[in-house]
């Protein structure tokens, strides 16, 4: 079973394979580099070794928890284009309470939904241009952009600066009526 991970409890259904491009909701897009078995507290568990080409980060994600964590396949180039096309129409509605705003944005990021991630980026970029951001929100903006841009890079095989430029341009463009 070297190239395919099977869920031990889930009846052996196929999940991801080595070489698959996947997205972790809080870290962005990467590639399954290998699938390893390790003993944790005396129990053998399978892990995806997930390498992120953009940040150089390597994560180990338990295969049986990957769905609950929100790991999913990278969207197609067409799906990415549709997300980018919807950005100008996204509304910017943020509570003035920093704690509530931070929690709402964190929940949006954790969803793994690219429209939600885009909404966080757009709202934080808008807030940065009008009021400035706290250090926590500045970090959140960086993470949100990295999530979206890393998926564009892997889905469309483009350079990071080009993908980032497209995201920035989309976030700043106005909705066409």
pLDDT in tens, 7-61: 444 433 348 999 999 999 989 999 999 999 999 899 999 999 999 887 788 999 9
pLDDT tens for 125-149 read 999 988 888 899 999 999 999 999 9
Q: pLDDT of 85-114, one tens digit each?
A: 999 888 887 777 888 889 999 999 999 899
User: What is the total residue count of the chain?
Assistant: 177
Q: Model's pTM, two decimal places?
A: 0.84
Q: What is the pLDDT of residue 175?
A: 60
């Amino acid at each position: 079973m070297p190239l395919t991970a099977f869920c031990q409890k889930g009846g052996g259904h196929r999940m991801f394979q080595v070489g698959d491009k996947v997205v972790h909701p809080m870290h962005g897009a990467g590639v399954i580099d290998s699938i390893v078995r390790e003993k944790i507290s005396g129990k053998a568990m399978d892990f995806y070794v997930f390498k992120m080409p953009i940040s150089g980060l390597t994560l180990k994600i338990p295969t049986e928890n990957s769905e609950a964590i929100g790991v999913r396949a990278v969207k197609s180039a067409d799906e990415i284009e549709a997300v980018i096309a919807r950005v100008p129409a996204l509304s910017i509605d943020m509570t003035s309470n920093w704690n509530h705003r931070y929690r709402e944005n964190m929940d949006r990021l954790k969803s793994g939904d690219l429209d939600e991630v885009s909404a966080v980026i757009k709202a934080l970029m808008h807030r940065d241009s009008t009021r400035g951001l706290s250090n926590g929100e500045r970090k959140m903006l960086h993470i949100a952009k990295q999530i979206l841009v890393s998926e564009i890079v892997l889905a469309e095989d483009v350079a990071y600066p080009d993908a980032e430029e497209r995201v920035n341009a989309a976030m700043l463009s106005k909705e066409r009526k």
